[in-house]
Chain A
């Protein structure tokens, strides 16, 4: 009987939380169902110039040669292979790696990580935004999509 009460009250708390949680964030839920936040949780109101881009867009920026690609994966993953010319700034060591890189603030940056399931590209993009960069693009297909399409890659550290 006591266990039943416990479970009953727990279910009530859960129900109240769902109602309050959903009820207090209706605009956010609407935006979710309109397709936002599928690949990361950047509020486009807070970061209006930060966008998610697809493979063709990333490829176009790559061919254009004026954008800098940022690889937010670990050092090991980066050394095994990365998009040609990409600079490694792992999310876990952002401060350490960011210090060594100097880009003008108006530079277009394309951040990527493993693929759609990884989150470090979004996290690094946010940190770059906080440092004053405004032209940031997140290539959410990432490394997985890039190599699946046999696009140019290199190994080791080709930026130093």
Chain B
């Protein structure tokens, strides 16, 4: 695994920063995010509503923890799970031909497409490497 602390620190800033940004934007506009979840047409309305209240806080908390280096194993684990879920969701949306906003960054969201899949894929790799590298001695 990666043991260079500067590389790991860079990954933490990137992944943590993205999730703090994403979390804050969604906390500000919970109804917009609920609608974005609903647009994927996979969850009933009540579930989209409650997911929209809780998910942004998980993103924000894990992003902050990751950047501060607190519980890095758990925060990178949770964010890796999230990114994996996002990739599956975006992929299924593309396969179903849905032309929707991803809902990733509140009103700054972009359309679901393969480039978004690539971005999430890179973040997933970074986050997973952070998870696998955490708890090991950094050099």
Contacts and interface: CB of A to CB of B under 8 A. Distances in A.
19 contacts: A5-B74, A9-B71, A10-B77, A13-B78, A17-B55, A18-B54, A20-B61, A21-B54, A21-B55, A24-B27, A24-B57, A28-B31, A32-B49, A40-B38, A41-B31, A41-B34, A41-B45, A93-B99, A118-B41
Contacts, number: 86
Interface hub of A24, A37, A38, A122 (most chain B Cβ within 10 A)? A37
Contact of B61 (A6, A13, A92): A13
B34 A37 contact: yes
B128 interface: no
Range of interface residues on chain B?
A: 20 to 34
A21 B100 contact: no
Interface string B69-111: 0010111011000000000000000000011100000000000
Interface residues of A, number: 34
A25 interface: yes
Interface of A: 2, 5-6, 9-10, 13-14, 16-18, 20-22, 24-25, 28-29, 32, 37-43, 91-93, 117-119, 122-123, 126
A126 B83 CA distance: 29
B30 interface: yes
Nearest to A37: B49
User: 3 nearest interchain CB pairs?
Assistant: A92-B99, A17-B57, A9-B74
B30 A25 contact: yes
Contacts of A123: 35, 39
Given A41-B34, A117-B41, 15 more contacts: A9-B74, A13-B58, A13-B74, A16-B61, A17-B55, A17-B57, A18-B54, A21-B57, A24-B57, A25-B53, A37-B31, A37-B49, A91-B99, A117-B44, A119-B39
A64 B131 CA distance: 62
B39 A21 contact: no
Given A37-B45, A38-B45, A123-B35, A2 B135 contact: yes
